[in-house]
Structure 1
């Protein structure tokens, strides 16, 4: 018996058929009639396989065979003497091939290791720039070797003239507020890590250290190149770039050789010191055209260097929290190591007027000031006398050769807490986060520090405190400036850099995350903000100033492009 569903279905079909017949749609009526299901088609009978045509055999040539197999075939008619001679030649050939393979492997390994020997400029210059070596040599020949002695704190600008301080600030603002972009060039191929302005007054010569161990030398105001076309017309090429050279001082050319610091010899401005993450410090003399290694560590990254005003003493900080002293008059093997922190010391600075004071900044969130005259006693016997705070001459009273030893962090800490070590650690000023940099101003009185807590701090240390042997009384900066220091992974750390000009009112420059360069006074007052939205579209992370010309500021970014800020009327 059909189900209710089938009965209802039949009624619907009949109803639809009657409706369609009224509309004279006979084809649609026929479509309503259910068609019987199609029967499955029967499988086709299996077809017999067709016989395949046999392949035509092609005559084969002689098969390739390795030299080893060919040599292993023994000719029964070959004499024993000839066979012995052939075996000897084969062994000699194999030995030569193995020697060549080992030499290639050694060359590949050497290409990845730091270079420790003396290197000529022809070796350091990049490919394609060898012909410019003569131009670079003539550039330094045309400049005199400037000599800088230890300056007195009261030389140049005098901070005691408080009544005229507003006048000096006004003059400084008038000189700096109208600086414009007068030159731009991609001086280095990679991110700029460090910079130094040459003291020559007739040139705007700047040195830039990049991420891959290359030193860029930029003559920003050099005469432009003129090129004559086919029609005889002369056109100017790269009018706003000046001239630049690149020297691969540190090796290998990877991020393992980033140039962390560039310093110009205070006695001979033709000599440049560079420190890098390849654990070496090199001295490059342009008159002689030779770069030599002056310091090396064992797999510890070098973060900062500074040279005393006499040009004889170099201080070096590393990522392990150690500070090294190197007497440049002695062999590079004679060094002294002091463990001044249990974390990385990212920056150190020597007081330019009192070279016995050293300031260090580290990831331990502290800024410390050390008296070098007493720090040296940690490496000597208790019987040796402690030098008085007002001792004349350099920071060391005894020959530096006696200091060829080491003192770890625990030893230095125990010494500073002892009676004999009183006055060695003159200040320990805490920050909220890591201290990325700290520098003395040109007169050796102010200190500016930058920290990851987005703050610039300023300290003013009086002469009376420096002349005493007790700890500095102030533990708080006299000014704190809010400044974004969150550079992240792809930008160089922002560092506040003092203008090295002792004749000008003390001021410093620092890059800003809004693509500008800020200039502050030693009191923390903003002098001006250098910016150009049409020409500058990146963070100017690295800055420096001319040692004797106030109206000169240079900055560099993460792509290797550098900018010279100067008055437009002097272009």
Structure 2
């Protein structure tokens, strides 16, 4: 046998090693035959329904003179040459006009829209989808669905009645522990920024606002339109649940139009208000199917949040420059007053439901503050008890006017508000304030109007409880300190929406609130700060459920949304499609 070269020896050694490795791999097959469990697969994302691609117009392209030049007859007469040149010039003018028109159309598409918009201009889907959305709107306008206000003294117990409170908490925990993932869908195409649950009890109708100005409407328990082909093997757990529609309410469709908050009309819930970084507030009417502009900011400050009084007539708006703007919806837009309540961004504003003259602001300067707006009316030269629809509009301060046919706004700078607060006349304007260790990202009144919950970048959730005599006095609060402080990771970073603790708007249930968890769960706490339940499903959820809200009338309902636009309905397992 001839002697093998060094190369052939190395080759034979490699073959022997590979053969030994293959023999070792047979052990894994044997382990599976013995019944050894394999690790669980990671959560699979819900598969979005197939949508028709939206056809886009192709802009006319510019061509050089050389390419546009046609073949010239060398024997053409002067008359023919003149006619040819006139025809080429007319064609060039027509092409230029078409190009300019297309460019202007493209520029217009990048500007905010201020006109009234009907459904077919908002819905991306075909006319059949518009008709189904209109049917859903009509199905919820038969009843008024007013926002209910809780009894101020409800669920307040004496020290001798701790057992009653413990029973209420235990009953609430038992209901919430039954919540499971019953539906998932990619309602929006981009990151969820805000959410609101419609009070209709016969269906789960949830509204989501995303990063690019899109309003997603999800009928979570409706029968989906998607019909799978025989050759499709999509697992049931990864299919979309319910039916949804996408409305491009704010424009342009970019991060400049993120929908920062969603509120229903507190009187009948037949109108939904949306605020956006495009510096506008729009209302969408379910009865008419028309989206109208309610307010457009004249300064460069971004609109962050909005809340309405229980009457539905007045709106408070906070912005990125530290202003709180009051808007009376019964008046023309020129009846607008803006107060500089902070020197930097106010990220959240909340109106007390039982005492609407109190508003709550959360600011990037770390402070949470409670204001008495009756004093702001005194600052504006009005009667503190007069409604703004009948109050005088005169003011010694400068009015910043835009087009006189559109609107003007009366502004009170931060220095003016601070000086008034320090004066004898302004005593009681600022009722209470509390400084967090870092920026205060949100703060809300509960449905009774006596408790406050705040979240902060210092990784804490704080709770306050105020009694009637404290709120009814005309003096600043003697003490305004939280009674509970809960550790909670609020470091969302750049790609996850800020976590906000949201009260359940249901006044019949023991006070509780929901908040997303960075560990991909939805946490629910009682109004006393007691952890009630942590909802999670690693097999179906693998992202932070940053945005949450719950049903105003059904305790066993909650929803959450993540950074990819996917949304989850949490409900008892026996809840089926409507």
* Residues 277 and 213 of structure 1: CA distance in aligned 2, closer, same or farther (over 3 Å): same
Give the equivalent residue in structure 2 for 1:40: none
Between the aligned partners of 1:495 and 1:253, the Cα distance in structure 2 is 25
Counterpart check, 1:99 vs 2:104: no
Give the equivalent residue in structure 2 for 1:554: 559
Between the aligned partners of 2:65 and 2:208, the Cα distance in structure 1 is 58
* Residues 314 and 85 of structure 1: CA distance in aligned 2, closer, same or farther (over 3 Å): same
Any conservation in 1 of the 2:257–2:277 contact (CA below 8 Å)? yes
Give the equivalent residue in structure 2 for 1:461: 466
Counterpart check, 1:367 vs 2:364: no
* Residues 247 and 149 of structure 1: CA distance in aligned 2, closer, same or farther (over 3 Å): closer
Between the aligned partners of 2:203 and 2:65, the Cα distance in structure 1 is 69
Deviation of the 1:130 alpha carbon:
3.4
Deviation of the 1:477 alpha carbon:
0.6
Counterpart check, 1:141 vs 2:138: yes
- Gaps of at least 5 residues in structure 2 are 1-63, 396-408
Give the equivalent residue in structure 2 for 1:122: 120
Give the equivalent residue in structure 2 for 1:177: 177
Give the equivalent residue in structure 1 for 2:340: 339
Any conservation in 2 of the 1:326–1:334 contact (CA below 8 Å)? yes
CA-based RMSD of the aligned residues comes to 3.0
Give the equivalent residue in structure 2 for 1:483: 488
Q: SS where residue 292 of structure 1 aligns? A: strand
Match of 2:391 among 394, 399, 407: 399
* Residues 467 and 398 of structure 1: CA distance in aligned 2, closer, same or farther (over 3 Å): farther
- Gaps of at least 5 residues in structure 1 are 1-63
Q: Aligned ranges for residues 312-323 of structure 1 at < 5 Å?
A: 312-323=313-324
* Residues 186 and 438 of structure 1: CA distance in aligned 2, closer, same or farther (over 3 Å): same
Give the equivalent residue in structure 2 for 1:212: 212
Deviation of the 1:254 alpha carbon:
1.0
Cα offsets for 1:252-287 (capped at 9, x unmatched): 111111111011111231211011111111101122
Greater mean deviation of Cα atoms: 304-313 or 146-155: 146-155
Between the aligned partners of 2:236 and 2:517, the Cα distance in structure 1 is 33
Cα offsets for 1:104-127 (capped at 9, x unmatched): 22112111111111111101111x
Between the aligned partners of 1:225 and 1:154, the Cα distance in structure 2 is 42
Any conservation in 2 of the 1:225–1:238 contact (CA below 8 Å)? no
Any conservation in 2 of the 1:146–1:269 contact (CA below 8 Å)? no
Deviation of the 1:399 alpha carbon:
2.9
Q: Which has the larger radius of gyration?
A: 1
Any conservation in 2 of the 1:319–1:346 contact (CA below 8 Å)? yes
Between the aligned partners of 1:230 and 1:569, the Cα distance in structure 2 is 28
Between the aligned partners of 1:536 and 1:484, the Cα distance in structure 2 is 19
Q: SS where residue 570 of structure 1 aligns? A: coil
Q: SS where residue 539 of structure 2 aligns? A: coil
Deviation of the 1:545 alpha carbon:
0.5
Deviation of the 1:537 alpha carbon:
1.1
Deviation of the 1:147 alpha carbon:
3.6
With normalisation by structure 2, the TM-score equals: 0.79
* Residues 438 and 65 of structure 1: CA distance in aligned 2, closer, same or farther (over 3 Å): closer
Any conservation in 1 of the 2:145–2:269 contact (CA below 8 Å)? no
Deviation of the 1:239 alpha carbon:
6.8
Any conservation in 2 of the 1:373–1:395 contact (CA below 8 Å)? no
* Residues 152 and 496 of structure 1: CA distance in aligned 2, closer, same or farther (over 3 Å): closer
Any conservation in 1 of the 2:152–2:449 contact (CA below 8 Å)? no
Q: Aligned ranges for residues 120-269 of structure 1 at < 5 Å?
A: 120-126=118-124, 128-147=125-144, 154=151, 157-160=154-157, 163=161, 164-225=164-225, 227=227, 241-269=241-269
Between the aligned partners of 1:267 and 1:451, the Cα distance in structure 2 is 32
Deviation of the 1:335 alpha carbon:
1.3
* Residues 496 and 306 of structure 1: CA distance in aligned 2, closer, same or farther (over 3 Å): same
Give the equivalent residue in structure 1 for 2:309: 308
Give the equivalent residue in structure 2 for 1:328: 329
Greater mean deviation of Cα atoms: 444-453 or 317-326: 317-326
Between the aligned partners of 2:213 and 2:487, the Cα distance in structure 1 is 33
Match of 1:508 among 509, 513, 522: 513
* Residues 400 and 104 of structure 1: CA distance in aligned 2, closer, same or farther (over 3 Å): farther
Between the aligned partners of 1:283 and 1:228, the Cα distance in structure 2 is 36
Of structures 1 and 2, the one scoring higher in RCO (CA 8 A, sep 6+) is 2
Give the equivalent residue in structure 2 for 1:272: 272
Match of 1:523 among 528, 534, 559: 528
Any conservation in 1 of the 2:221–2:242 contact (CA below 8 Å)? yes
Any conservation in 2 of the 1:124–1:248 contact (CA below 8 Å)? yes
Provide the aligned length of Structure 1 versus Structure 2: 493
Between the aligned partners of 1:230 and 1:181, the Cα distance in structure 2 is 27
Q: SS where residue 574 of structure 2 aligns? A: helix
* Residues 449 and 395 of structure 1: CA distance in aligned 2, closer, same or farther (over 3 Å): farther
Cα offsets for 1:66-109 (capped at 9, x unmatched): 49988999999747xx9988877666555444433322221121
Deviation of the 1:224 alpha carbon:
4.4
* Residues 224 and 85 of structure 1: CA distance in aligned 2, closer, same or farther (over 3 Å): closer
* Residues 151 and 188 of structure 1: CA distance in aligned 2, closer, same or farther (over 3 Å): closer
Q: SS where residue 365 of structure 2 aligns? A: coil
Give the equivalent residue in structure 2 for 1:17: none
Any conservation in 1 of the 2:141–2:286 contact (CA below 8 Å)? no
Between the aligned partners of 2:492 and 2:126, the Cα distance in structure 1 is 33
Deviation of the 1:331 alpha carbon:
2.3
